[in-house]
Structure 1
């Protein structure tokens, strides 16, 4: 059973105000617009996850709102661990929730970039070149697996597309 993993780095956030935790930083106006643009691009390409795993950080939740206002996000689960885990922790959470056809993960860098690079050992040339240039805010990696995501592992994915708001 083929499956898709959508890895979305949260949209651009503002700087933390004095006394504000990093966890609570909101999106800035360009981040709000980029999240909406990414949602429109997902709908246009028929990228519809069965499940969305979202960091509980304010900027990730607001990114989800921008996506959900423009595209279907399936069932949504929130995880504090997507704020603090490394790429291996992200993969563990995906595998634990991965017996579905597709999952969207909304999280943070460097975890997103590290995970995308680890699982997608091959891919479309242009998508790979874009991703290898850096994983910008609102960047979306679309990775196909031949098996279900509960079997996702390093080197098993194929990068089908890498979308940024500038190219959406």
Structure 2
């Protein structure tokens, strides 16, 4: 069995004049939410073997704040350019190509996170996902399990184990 954790970056501010979208930083509430989510993940044992993260500043900062409360020693982390400004197909490709034992944390952006969270679980779990919120909120975490390795994941092939937000 394998598990995929889909983490949308925490709340970021708007790009300041002269600053690119890529360089947007987290707001104070985004920083607090990421720390809170890391603590929740730790308390229920959601510890990844490998992390793939978008190189956008808001995604990297989200990971840093989550990691500050989640890990004693973080696992291998890779910044993957294709996780910024791409589509769900690129996200799925990155997951399938990752060399991970059992559990992968993917830190990225919407709409790709939402697309994967609705496409990968079984049809019944897709309905549960739709009932969790309108869309995939910032600093939301979908936990999806699969019967085989992540290299073999397919549409409707997983099970939504949990959907976490920092405030619940």
SS of the aligned residue for 2:40 comes to helix
SS of the aligned residue for 2:136 comes to coil
SS of the aligned residue for 1:40 comes to helix
Residue aligning to 1:89: 90
Determine whether 1:123 maps to 2:125: yes
Stretches of structure 2 lacking an aligned partner (at least 5 in a row): none
Could you list the per-position Cα deviations for residues 38-67 of structure 1 after superposition, in whole angstroms to 9, with x for gaps in the alignment? Answer: 100100010010000000000000000011
SS of the aligned residue for 1:84 comes to coil
Residue aligning to 1:42: 41
Could you list the per-position Cα deviations for residues 46-92 of structure 1 after superposition, in whole angstroms to 9, with x for gaps in the alignment? Answer: 00100000000000000000111011342100011101221111000
Q: What is the alpha-carbon distance in structure 2 between the residues aligned to residue 115 and residue 98 of structure 1?
A: 19
Residue aligning to 1:103: 104
Residue aligning to 1:166: 167
Bigger fraction of residues in strand: 1
Q: What is the alpha-carbon distance in structure 2 between the residues aligned to residue 126 and residue 74 of structure 1?
A: 30
Give the TM-score normalised by the residue count of structure 1: 0.93
Stretches of structure 1 lacking an aligned partner (at least 5 in a row): none
Q: What is the alpha-carbon distance in structure 2 between the residues aligned to residue 23 and residue 107 of structure 1?
A: 12
Residue aligning to 2:114: 113
RMSD: 1.5
Q: Paired residues, what number? A: 165
Q: What is the alpha-carbon distance in structure 2 between the residues aligned to residue 35 and residue 80 of structure 1?
A: 22
Shift of 1:128: 5.2
Residue aligning to 2:69: 70
Q: In structure 2, do the counterparts of structure 1 residues 98 and 149 end up closer, same or farther at CA, with 3 Å as the change threshold?
A: farther
Give the TM-score normalised by the residue count of structure 2: 0.93
Q: What is the alpha-carbon distance in structure 2 between the residues aligned to residue 79 and residue 41 of structure 1?
A: 25
SS of the aligned residue for 1:52 comes to strand
SS of the aligned residue for 1:137 comes to coil
Would the aligned equivalents of 2:83 and 2:108 in 1 still touch at CA under 8 Å?
Answer: yes
